[in-house]
């Protein structure tokens, strides 16, 4: 993977202040994310992680300060950015009356991406057979997450912004997610993950910034190398606490062996 060159930032925030009515979401954020970097945005609940991602996605405009995503203003230049940026938010943006496949198809086409990768993406996320024809209203929260993820996979944009991606997913889905992130970073995609489950995400990223009170208050390098996810990465940053991942069939015993290819986890 090409090392990030400082001059090409994927995301650049300078003293960003964002408001929702009278409530300050961000109170002056300074952040630079280089092309191809993977960054964890951590912090307690309500710190502003989600708002940070929404600002980068162009959903919230700044009251003051500057933001540039892939060199462009995310609010004004949304049309140009739409194919290149993907946001996985808390809500899945699904239409209850449409089936899974129709939802994915609409979302992918709306973002201007080709439809040829829809089926492989759905399969990858474990959405097959009858599930594809189920209306979205009948899905569980975890399944909705999977659908949203499959949209992301089908689009495969240059910049991924994931908001609490592990929330609501069962162990096998989490593993698939970790693989995906590993693949993406290996392939040069810039990944920004907001999560308060730092231990889960740390092995996947190269840097972690802490956000509290609407600002970036700390920064550190994490143990993960830029190599694809594997046992080496897991041991480098210490054993993953199992209570955080919440699944008995979870990480340590069934860590996927990856050598840069897609590993299929049963």
Binding site for another protein (CB under 8 A): 15, 17, 19-24, 27-28, 43-44, 46-47, 57-59, 61, 63-64, 75, 78-79, 81-83, 87, 89-98, 102, 106-107, 109-112, 135, 144, 211-215, 217
Least separation in angstroms between residue 92's CB and another protein is 6
Q: Is 39 exposed, middle or buried (0-12, 13-18, 19+ CB in 10 A)?
A: buried
Nearer to another protein, 163 or 179 (CB): 163
Q: How far apart are CA 151 and CA 131, in angstroms?
A: 15
Nearer to another protein, 115 or 235 (CB): 115
Least separation in angstroms between residue 43's CB and another protein is 7
Least separation in angstroms between residue 150's CB and another protein is 14
Nearer to another protein, 102 or 171 (CB): 102
Quick one: tokens of 3?
């090392």
Least separation in angstroms between residue 78's CB and another protein is 5
Nearer to another protein, 141 or 262 (CB): 141
Nearer to another protein, 111 or 227 (CB): 111
Least separation in angstroms between residue 16's CB and another protein is 11
């Amino acid at each position: 993977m090409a090392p990030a060159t400082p001059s090409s930032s994927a995301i650049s925030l300078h003293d960003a202040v964002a408001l929702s009515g009278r409530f300050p979401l961000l109170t002056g954020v300074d952040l630079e994310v280089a092309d191809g970097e993977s960054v964890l945005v951590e912090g307690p609940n309500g710190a502003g992680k989600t708002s940070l991602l929404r600002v980068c996605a162009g959903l919230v405009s700044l009251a003051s300060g500057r933001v540039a995503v892939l060199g462009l203003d995310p609010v004004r230049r949304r049309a140009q950015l739409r194919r290149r940026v993907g946001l996985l938010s808390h809500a899945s943006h699904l239409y209850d009356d449409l089936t899974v496949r129709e939802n994915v198809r609409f979302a992918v086409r709306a973002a201007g991406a080709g439809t040829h990768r829809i089926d492989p993406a759905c399969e990858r996320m474990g959405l097959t057979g009858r599930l594809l024809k189920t209306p979205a209203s009948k899905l569980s929260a975890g399944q909705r997450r999977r659908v949203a993820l499959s949209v992301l996979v089908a689009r495969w944009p240059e910049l991924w912004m994931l908001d609490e991606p592990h929330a609501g997913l069962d162990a096998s889905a989490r593993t698939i997610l970790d693989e995906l992130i590993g693949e993406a970073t290996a392939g040069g995609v810039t990944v920004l993950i907001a999560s308060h489950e730092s231990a889960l995400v740390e092995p996947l990223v190269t840097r972690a910034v802490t956000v509290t009170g609407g600002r970036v208050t700390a920064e550190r390098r994490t143990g993960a190398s830029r190599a694809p996810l594997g046992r080496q990465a897991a041991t480098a940053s210490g054993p993953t606490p199992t209570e955080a991942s919440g699944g008995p069939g979870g990480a340590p015993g069934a860590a996927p062996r990856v050598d840069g290819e897609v590993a299929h986890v049963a």
